[in-house]
Amino acid sequence: MFACLRLTGWAATVESPGPALLDVAQQFSPRVAWADPNALVADLRGLERLFGDARAIGGELRRSLADRGLQAHIAIAATCTASRLLAEARAGVTVVPAGEEAKALAALPIDPVQVITQGERSQAQTDRRSESGGSARFYRMSPVSDILRARRRRSADPTPLATLRRWGLRTLGDLAGLPPPDLAARLGREGPVLQAIARGEDHGPLVPLAPDERFEATLALEWPIEGLEPLSFVLGRLADPVCAELDRRGRAAAAISVELRLVTRDTWVRRQELPTPIKDPRTLRTLVLLDLESHPPPAGIDAVTLRAEPTPARTLQHSLLERARPAPEQISTLVARLTALMGEGRVGAPARFDTHRPDAVRMTRFTGEETNGLRATDYGLRAPGPALRRLRQPAVATVTVEDGRPVRVRVSRPGLPDGCIETCAGPWRSSGEWWAATSWDRDEWDVALDGGAVCRLFRDRRKDRWFVEGVYD
């Protein structure tokens, strides 16, 4: 079901009727397209549960237009073509049941066909001009040739609509009743297209307008401000409308950027990607303030612009069988506070390198998911077998070796086990990345101490030194 809203008048207080008409149509349907500069076509399928039948929907559209000071012809039909033709010819609200489009259009004059075809013809002419290079050619002609050419132009109108008038056709029903083969033989490929329009048939799908995905707000200040405390009030005023627009469009912010115009005529721009999509204004303001606390502007601020990069908002379905996770707003605020405290690149989630180097990890953006590719054993978490708790800085150890096997280990770092070695397994020799500064060459041992602890030792073969790499649970 489609509705065509053709603008016929507006109040003196309405400065721009086109955007107002578009805003009213988008309040009812997200699938809206311009039919011409004064008419819009909207897809109304699915609105019956909210407003009722097509007649009730038309009444709601008319009241919404009247509240904005607009007057329009409204036609509702099962096809876009039928709604456009009826809105052009009839005033008020017109509703045509599905399957009766041709019957409702039969009595209309043939002139509205040109309303639909003229847009396609002008587009085709534009395409032909662009293919020929877009430049016009002028030829020097005699005055007699000009007169004869003007006479031929007045005597013969090449448009198909003029041809149909010369045939004696006056209504759309007359055009719809012609034999299709004979019409195609005389008018070419435009004949069947015109006949389909006269019957109310669509010759293409509705292509909706792409929504404007710009979510930003700007505030120019009367007096320059300095410091984060006055800036927080300005950011609060900007974050509220931005987040309200995000929520209305079903979006959330994937990244947030703030642009500060300084009194020195410079621009200070800060951008940060968010761990999870957020549309809470307080959280966004806090994140921006934490970032500016680490990177303060060098001068006073004249104007502030807050801009959000949208992404589809996520809907989380909590489970009764899983542990509850913290809210995305809390995670984002915590990551921002830790980043301001520790510095850039030192906060995130660990992820493995594509290498065999032991304990090779890098910090990636924290998303709140499980482990970003690391197994539970890499963290020393619960696992079906023993888990190795790695020491991020291996502890220097003194190891006594007899017959090529370690027999005693001593560690100076408090909290780590040492003593005599009862059993051991190894060595497992590994080396690699000889071309880089991260090269390694070592022998690994798993040892069981007399105190009951099980550790992993390794010997750096280049430095001939022993280290405790971790302790098994």
Residues 317-356 have pLDDT tens digits of 666 776 666 666 677 777 777 777 777 777 777 777 778 8
Q: Domain coordinates of the chain in residue numbers?
A: 1-129+151-211, 215-312, 349-379, 388-472
Checking if the pLDDT of 148 tops 80, the result is: no
Checking if the pLDDT of 150 tops 70, the result is: no
* Token duo for residue 258: 């703030």
Considering the segment(s) 215-312 as one domain, its CATH architecture is 2-Layer Sandwich (3.30)
Checking if the pLDDT of 97 tops 50, the result is: yes
pTM of the model: 0.49
User: Rounded CA gap, 327 and 290, in Å?
Assistant: 19
**Fold type of domain 1-129+151-211:** Alpha-Beta Plaits (3.30.70)
Checking if the pLDDT of 152 tops 80, the result is: no
The answer to whether residues 473 and 380 touch, using CB atoms and an 8 Å cutoff, is yes
Rounded to the nearest integer, the mean pLDDT of the chain is: 80
Residue 404 neighbours by CB under 8 Å, 6+ apart: none
- Which is it for the CA torsion 286, 292, 293, 298, positive or negative? negative
Q: Do domains 1-129+151-211 and 215-312 have the same CATH topology?
A: no
The answer to whether residues 78 and 99 touch, using CB atoms and an 8 Å cutoff, is yes
Average pLDDT over residues 29-41: 85
Q: Give percent above pLDDT 70 in the chain.
A: 83
Give ∠ CA 107-109-114 in degrees, rounded to 5.
Answer: 135
Backbone angles phi, psi at 393, to 5 degrees: -120, 105
Average pLDDT over residues 174-191: 84
User: Rounded CA gap, 422 and 452, in Å?
Assistant: 9
The answer to whether residues 9 and 73 touch, using CB atoms and an 8 Å cutoff, is no
Residue 199 neighbours by CB under 8 Å, 6+ apart: 101, 102, 105, 176
Long-range Cβ contact pairs of 267-270 (< 8 A, separation 24 or more):
268/297, 268/298, 270/295
Average pLDDT over residues 234-238: 91
Checking if the pLDDT of 134 tops 70, the result is: no
Long-range Cβ contact pairs of 188-197 (< 8 A, separation 24 or more):
190/117, 190/160, 191/160, 193/117, 194/113, 194/117, 194/160, 194/164, 196/81, 197/81, 197/85, 197/113, 197/116, 197/117
Give ∠ CA 309-312-314 in degrees, rounded to 5.
Answer: 120
Checking if the pLDDT of 428 tops 50, the result is: yes
If one counts every other C-beta atom within 10 angstroms of the C-beta of residue 159, the result is 13
CA neighbor of 60 nearest in space, from 34, 88, 29:
29
User: Rounded CA gap, 471 and 272, in Å?
Assistant: 38
Q: Which amino acid, one-letter code, is at 40?
A: L
User: Rounded CA gap, 471 and 62, in Å?
Assistant: 75
Q: How confident is the model at residue 364, as a pLDDT?
A: 77
Q: How confident is the model at residue 380, as a pLDDT?
A: 43
Q: Which amino acid, one-letter code, is at 242?
A: V
The answer to whether residues 355 and 432 touch, using CB atoms and an 8 Å cutoff, is yes
Q: Which amino acid, one-letter code, is at 471?
A: V
What is the band of 446 on the pLDDT scale with cuts at 50, 70, 90?
very high
